[in-house]
Structure 1
Amino acid sequence: MNWREVAVTVSSEGEEAVADLFYQIGCPGVSVEDPELLRNYIESGIWDYHSFGEVDLTGTSIIKGYLCEDDYLSRRMTQLDESLRELVKQFPEWVIQVKGITVKEEDWATAWKAYFKPTRVGNHFLIKPTWEDVNPRSEDVILELDPGMAFGTGTHATTVLCLEELEEIVKPGMRVFDLGTGSGILAIAAAKLGAEVEAVDLDPVAIRVTQENIDLNHVSARISAKLGDLGSVLQGQADLVVANIIADVILMLLPDLKRILKANGEFLASGIIENRAEDVEIGMREAGLEVIEKKENSGWVLLRARWK
């Protein structure tokens, strides 16, 4: 199968807005090449295993999305084009340039690996690509990962927010549901903290990759990976439900949350772009939840909620 790689170069201020446009047309994930963020990572020591040389600050970022070349491609490209034109009207000072190429599935599955490096998150998590070597500390909780073609390397701000919260919330013996598991990184992290986890995704590729990563991390006794509609394939209730998806899908999940979340349970919702956070908060209140914590990272928001 062939895929269309669509790369949008945009002024750094428009990074989140363009990323959100890709999600709106059904793109399961995006990559962001942000020179300023890369330099910040290097200077902070987050990527302390590699030398990237001098990083030039261009004032722009490159947002890449991958769309299947199927019967829906033309409609999605038209929708993206119209949305980008609207951005140009609203922000005429922004640079917005678009180009697209066709890539084979096997090329897409491996090309991004040059940018995925060992990364520390929170106090103890060390995300380790399978092809990289690290010297872990004694207290490190290593998350061995090969995302393949599934969304989620763990370095995106939305996933970082979730990992930091899991480190604080999860206790041994808890039951956790991970909705839209992607590469399985959050499910694996919860399992390594002692939880019993059920990971769900609509995408069979994601479930296959999740199972491979479960095996890599030797946590198969603690995690079951299930293919199906988010929430509908789960039985019983969890102490914690995690959904690192997008705002619209989170809003769709809320009516079903009563069935799968315990009365004293908690809900972690991430993947919410900053300008949609208020919509999700309103939806949560209408569903009977109260937001007890709100965190932001690089224009993305995580909401932690409980039943009122």
Structure 2
Amino acid sequence: MAGSSEETDKRRPMRWAEITVRVPPDASEAVAQALMDNGCTGVAETASGSNATVTSGWLPVDDLLETRLTRIRERFDRFGEFGLSAPFDMTVRRIADPDWLSEWRKHHKARSFGRRLLVCPSWEESASGTDRAVVLLDPGMAFGTGGHPKTILCLEALDELVRPGMLVADVGTGSGILAIAAVKLGAAHVYASEIDALPRRIAAENAQRNGVADRVTILTPDELDALRPTCDLVVCNIIAETIVELAPLLSALVAPDNGALIASGIVEERYGLVEQALIQNGFEIAEVRADDVWRAIIARRSPVR
């Protein structure tokens, strides 16, 4: 009878809880990270007007479900400590047997950036037969995968600015997407820093998968601060408050002779704070790019007079 029961369990559809969070744009990645840190196997994000995004995740319905939901809500309650907006609302509904993997994959397609770059998940076939520089990256437990506006702004800027032989730093590398893209576009080497151990491991795995592990050095922030390589290009895709805090380090990293900085993750209302901090630390604002409420700054070191 035991064998018969096990066979019945295998045939029974797995039940899932679908979590949907409506959130201000500046906190969308933090919401997705909170979902994945607490067991969501997949996360998808869709736009909901200019003032909100909708982030969805899926958890198995098991004995740990309520504990995980409590931890997610507790994480959201702490957003204010990090200068992030709290989610507007969160709903949970149980669904019998969703094909959530297919739904999730619908949100993660191969995508071109600028004239030279293609970011492609493993289940897409777009990587074959293209003359673009291909970054293979599956959505997982570290950001980003190229779908968020602030990451899009960075990828497009990298496509324009990276030249063969450049030395690049990626401050707050997450999944490693920007570091890998820089190498694929011709950078000689990238120093990629990340504060959290899990994203550091995933970034290293992604670099290995893309065949660039020998040209990407994964570091902690303290290690990057101690090393302080002089870089032709630095990219920092975090949040406005952290960019302000890191402005002295960013200035130290960017080569004074025509070095450039790409700073992204800046919501419109916090742009002035970042601009002021960069100017105070020896930068000149060369260009500001926008995608809805998000801003990215391309800055260069002010010439020494």
Q: TM-score when scaled to structure 1?
A: 0.71
Q: Which amino acid aligns with 2:296?
A: L
Structure with greater strand percent: 1
The answer to whether the Cα contact below 8 Å between 2:179 and 2:190 also exists between their aligned partners in 1 is: yes
Q: What residue identity is the alignment partner of 1:123?
A: R
Which residues in structure 2 correspond to 1:231-246 (within 5 Å)?
Answer: 231-246=224-239
Quote the residue 1:97 is aligned against: 89
The partner residue of 2:281 within 278, 287, 292 is: 287
Structure 2 counterpart SS, 1:232: helix
Asked whether 1:263 is paired with 2:262, we answer: no
Q: 1:160 to 1:249 in 2, by over 3 A?
A: same
**Alpha-carbon distance between aligned partners in 2 of 1:272 and 1:149, rounded to the nearest angstrom:** 22
Return the alpha-carbon distance in structure 2 between the equivalents of residues 236 and 109 of structure 1. Answer: 42
Partner of 1:210: 203
Residue 213 of structure 1 and its aligned partner are, at CA, apart by 1.3
Alignment-derived partner of residue 194 in structure 2: 201
CA distance in 1, matches of 2:174, 2:206: 11
**Structure-2 separation of matches of 1:240 and 1:60:** 32
Unaligned runs of 5+ in 1: 38-58, 89-95, 102-107
The 2-side partners of 1:149 and 1:124 are apart by: 27
Q: Determine the structure 1 residue equivalent to 2:12.
A: none
- Correspondence for 2:212 among 215, 219, 236: 219
Partners of 1:244 and 1:7 in 2: how far apart?
25
In the TM superposition, what is the alpha-carbon distance from 1:254 to its structure 2 partner? Answer: 0.7
Give deviations 1:33-83, integer Å, cap 9, x for gaps: 22789xxxxxxxxxxxxxxxxxxxxx97413589x969986764435599x
Alignment match, 1:92: none
Whole-Å separation in 2 of the counterparts to 1:192 and 1:60: 33
CA shift in 2, pair 1:112/1:208, >3 Å: farther
% identical aligned pairs: 35
Larger radius of gyration: 2
Query: What TM-score do the two structures reach when normalised by structure 2?
Result: 0.72
CA contact (8 A) 1:184 1:210 kept: yes
8 Å Cα contact 2:127/2:134 also seen in 1 = no
The one-letter code sitting in structure 1 at the alignment partner of 2:177 is I
**Which of 1, 10, 22 is the matching residue for 1:9?**
22
Q: CA deviation at 1:154?
A: 0.9
Q: Partner amino acid for 2:21?
A: V
Matches of residues 61-140 of structure 1 in structure 2 within 5 Å? 61-63=53-55, 76-79=75-78, 96-99=88-91, 112-134=104-126, 136-140=128-132
- Return the letter of the residue paired with 1:251: V
CA RMSD, 1 decimal: 4.0
Provide the residue aligned with 1:158 in structure 2: 150
Query: Does residue 272 of the first structure (1) align with residue 266 of the second (2)?
Result: yes
Per-residue CA deviation, residues 70-116 of structure 1 (Å, 9 max, x unaligned), is 9986764435599xxx999xxxxxxx532369xxxxxx999844421
Match of 2:28 among 19, 34, 48: 19
Match of 2:97 in 1: none
Hey, what's the Cα distance between the residues in 2 that align with 1:100 and 1:81? 23
CA distance in 1, matches of 2:123, 2:78: 37
Distance 2:73 2:48 in 1: 31
1:207 and 1:110 map into 2 onto residues whose CA distance is 28
Report the Cα distance in structure 2 between the residues aligned to 1:257 and 1:60, rounded to whole angstroms. Answer: 30
Cα distance 1:33–1:173, how it changes in 2: closer, same or farther (>3 A)?
A: same
Taking a change above 3 Å as real, the CA distance of residues 239 and 157 of structure 1, as seen in their structure-2 partners, is: same
- Counterparts of 1:216 and 1:99 in 2: how far apart (Å)? 36
Following superposition, the deviation at residue 133 of structure 1 comes to 1.7
1:209–1:5 Cα change, 3 Å: farther
Residue 176 of structure 1: how far off its partner (Å) = 0.2
Shift of 1:6: 6.4
Deviation at 1:296, TM superposition (A): 0.3
**Whole-Å Cα distance in 2 between the matches of residues 262 and 273 of structure 1?**
27
Q: State the AA in 2 paired with 1:261.
A: V
Partner of residue 305, structure 1? 299
Q: Aligned residues, how many?
A: 262
Do the aligned partners of 1:170 and 1:193 also contact (CA within 8 Å) in 2? yes
Change (3 A) 1:60 1:274: closer
Find the aligned partners of 1:298 and 1:160 in 2 and give their Cα distance: 12
The match for 2:46 is 33
Partner of 1:45: none
Alignment partner of 1:247 is 2:257: no
**Contact 2:207–2:216 (CA under 8 A) maintained in structure 1:** yes
Q: Relative to 1, partners in 2 of residues 1:211 and 1:230: Cα closer, same or farther, differing over 3 Å? A: same
